[in-house]
């Protein structure tokens, strides 16, 4: 007897329909809330890994689709999360200025840096 391929993963709603139109027979089940949240988080990791591997915008769209599903499953709306995002951007900034924090200096290191910068400014 021939064995089929095992997926055991969350797929987009219409994937079984598409597969069956291609002549495949599918076995699906519908998840309860707890399992759904768990596999959504696993799916998010999968999609982020796929995006990181290829930097493909289609994969980034998949990441966004999973994020939307998580938001809805948590009982929120995209607008509510967007308000949270905007509030964080207002208080902490966004990522547009490309700020890369290398480290936090000790008081002694900060003083040495300040003196070095003052010396450089005096030379010019």
> Residue 63: inside a domain, yes or no?
yes
> Residue 6: inside a domain, yes or no?
no
> Residue 88: inside a domain, yes or no?
yes
Residue 109 CA to its chain's centroid (Å): 36
> Residue 99: inside a domain, yes or no?
no
What pLDDT is stored for residue 1 in this prediction?
53
Q: What is the mean pLDDT of each run of 10 residues along the chain (124 residues)?
A: 85 98 97 98 98 97 98 98 98 97 95 89 76
Give the integer Cα–Cα distance in Å for 83 and 89.
10
Range of the domain at 46: 15-94
What pLDDT is stored for residue 122 in this prediction?
77
What pLDDT is stored for residue 6 in this prediction?
95
Give the integer Cα–Cα distance in Å for 62 and 52.
12
Where does 4-105 show beta strands of DSSP type E?
none
Q: b/e string for 88-121 if b means 16 or more Cβ within 10 A?
A: eeeeeeeeeeeeeeeeeeeeeeeeeeeeeeeeee
What pTM did the predictor assign?
0.83
> Residue 1: inside a domain, yes or no?
no
What pLDDT is stored for residue 123 in this prediction?
77
**How many domains is the chain built from?**
1
The size of the chain, in residues, is: 124
For residue 92, the SS3 value is helix
> Residue 50: inside a domain, yes or no?
yes
């Amino acid at each position: 007897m021939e064995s089929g391929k095992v997926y055991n993963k969350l797929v987009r709603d219409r994937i079984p329909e598409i597969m069956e139109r291609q002549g495949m027979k599918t076995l699906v089940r519908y998840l309860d809330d707890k399992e759904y949240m768990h596999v959504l988080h696993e799916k998010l990791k999968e999609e982020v890994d796929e995006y990181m591997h290829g930097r493909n915008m289609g994969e980034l769209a998949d990441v966004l689709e999973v994020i939307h599903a998580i938001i809805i499953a948590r009982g929120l709306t995209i607008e509510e999360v967007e308000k949270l995002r905007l509030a964080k951007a207002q208080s902490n900034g966004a990522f547009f200025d490309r700020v890369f924090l290398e480290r936090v200096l000790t008081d002694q290191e900060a003083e040495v840096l300040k003196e070095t910068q003052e010396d450089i400014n005096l030379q010019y």
